[in-house]
Amino acid sequence: MGKGRAPCCAKVGLNKGSWTPEEDMRLIAYIQKYGHANWRALPKQAGLLRCGKSCRLRWINYLRPDLKRGNFTAEEEETLIKLHNMLGNKWSKIAACLPGRTDNEIKNVWNTHLKKRVADSAAGEKKNKCKKKTTVRVDAPSPSSSTTTATTNSSSADSGDTSNNEETELDKIEIPMLDFAFELDMLLDTVPPETHCAPTSPCSSASPPCVVDDDNELLDLPEIDIVPELWNIIDDDDDGIPGACAEGTPQAPWSNAAPCDGNGTEAAATADDGKDWWLEDLERELGLWGPIEDYQYQPDPQPLPGPVDDPLSYYFEAGPVVVATSSLEPEPQPSAAVLTDIPMGL
């Protein structure tokens, strides 16, 4: 990866490439407890041999519990196409209007699926009827380059455009078949109400993203039930961290894989077995697993009105969950020595 480029920061001795389940669990555990106020310092404090950027990317693109996974629905694809027509390659802004989808995911979907499809359909339209403007922009509008030709790769030069000239660029965008105002109306009809943004913009460029409103705390990260061992390792004192393995304490709803025996250990988990259920648990925590009735430990659990096999739905219904975030007062940071006790050689 990244041939011939100098590393963005000193990465001597740091891991690269795919993340291991153990690294994932460390990151999840750490963020669940301490939040991510400082990405640079996080890997060291969490005992991860990764750079902060890598941790951030991993969390945002893969580990964040509010992510939708799986294929894009037709509706999402349609929305994406429309948003891209208006915004160009502003993946983060597009992502802000597609709850549960990340900019990276959207970018990949666009580049692998939709770009070709749009180009094909545009070419078809161009052939069939030339009543309206037939120029089609496939890629992002660039301040310096053409906004109209279908290029396969926009150079990095367009990364410099700002929200200021975005508006002027939007004026130049020639949207095939639909004029801009109508396009925007269509978009707002397509995007679920809770994701509607400022009326003058398909998606506010301001942070936080427009998907958040009072009734929809999508960005409030739900608390993941971390594998108890990890908490036990991280958290020597019993401070009531959910998931602490105690007899009678509900573990993760899927905890039949490694039940608590009441002694703070996994009765069925041998060293080898542990690897299996650890990985299995990770899959489940990543939203790849269905049952989540007790996804988190609530003193007074709300009955789930909808299907329980959709974590995202559950988040919406259950509302915000207390979790350490960068906005909260951070707890005392753990020493790296403590966290590095987490076994990595599972």
Contacting DNA (CB under 7 A), which of 30, 91, 254, 297?
91
Residue 12 or 271 with smaller CB distance to DNA: 12
Contacting DNA (CB under 7 A), which of 7, 192, 291, 305?
7
Nearest Cα residue to 30 out of 218, 241, 217: 241
| 273 in Cβ contact with 281 (< 8 Å) | no
Residue 60 or 186 with smaller CB distance to DNA: 60
User: Which are the contacts of 308, defined by CB distance < 8 A and separation ≥ 6?
Assistant: 290, 291, 292, 293, 314
Q: Indicate the SS3 state at residue 260.
A: strand
Q: Indicate the SS3 state at residue 213.
A: strand
Contacting DNA (CB under 7 A), which of 73, 126, 133, 162?
162
Question: Is 159 an interacting residue with respect to DNA (CB under 7 A)?
Answer: yes
Question: Is 44 an interacting residue with respect to DNA (CB under 7 A)?
Answer: no
Backbone dihedral region of 332: left (phi > 0), alpha (psi from -120 to 50 degrees) or beta? Answer: beta
Both tokens assigned to 33: 């407890």
- Binding span for DNA by CB under 7 A among 58-66, 128-136, 276-284, 298-306: 58-66
Rounded-to-integer distance, Cα 105 and Cα 108, Å? 5
Report, in Å, the least distance between residue 274 CB and DNA: 21
Q: Indicate the SS3 state at residue 168.
A: helix
At 131, phi and psi to the nearest 5?
-75, -45
Both tokens assigned to 232: 């036990």
Report, in Å, the least distance between residue 70 CB and DNA: 8
Report, in Å, the least distance between residue 50 CB and DNA: 7
Lay out the site mask for DNA across 266-285 (x = CB under 7 A, - = otherwise): --------------------
Question: Is 19 an interacting residue with respect to DNA (CB under 7 A)?
Answer: yes
Residues 302-341 that bind DNA (CB under 7 A): none
Q: How far is CA 147 from CA 86, 88, 172, 300, in A?
A: 12, 9, 7, 55
Contacting DNA (CB under 7 A), which of 26, 33, 50, 101?
50
Contacting DNA (CB under 7 A), which of 127, 131, 144, 156?
156
Question: Is 56 an interacting residue with respect to DNA (CB under 7 A)?
Answer: yes
- Binding span for DNA by CB under 7 A among 25-33, 34-42, 118-126, 213-221: 34-42
Lay out the site mask for DNA across 172-211 (x = CB under 7 A, - = otherwise): -----------------------------------x----
Residue 208: asked if its preceding bond is cis (omega within 30°), the reply is yes
- Binding span for DNA by CB under 7 A among 75-83, 91-99, 189-197, 240-248: 91-99
Residue 1 or 337 with smaller CB distance to DNA: 1
| 260 in Cβ contact with 247 (< 8 Å) | yes
Nearest Cα residue to 341 out of 11, 13, 29: 29
- Binding span for DNA by CB under 7 A among 159-167, 171-179, 230-238, 253-261: 159-167
User: Which are the contacts of 259, defined by CB distance < 8 A and separation ≥ 6?
Assistant: 251, 266, 267, 268
- Continuous H helices in 198-270: 228-234
Q: Indicate the SS3 state at residue 216.
A: strand
Report, in Å, the least distance between residue 275 CB and DNA: 17
Placement of tokens 């039949």 in the chain: 256
Contacting DNA (CB under 7 A), which of 113, 176, 196, 289?
113
Question: Is 92 an interacting residue with respect to DNA (CB under 7 A)?
Answer: yes
Binding site for DNA (CB under 7 A): 1-3, 5-8, 11, 15-19, 36-40, 50-54, 56-58, 61-62, 71, 89-93, 103-105, 107-109, 111-113, 139-140, 153-156, 158-160, 162-163, 207
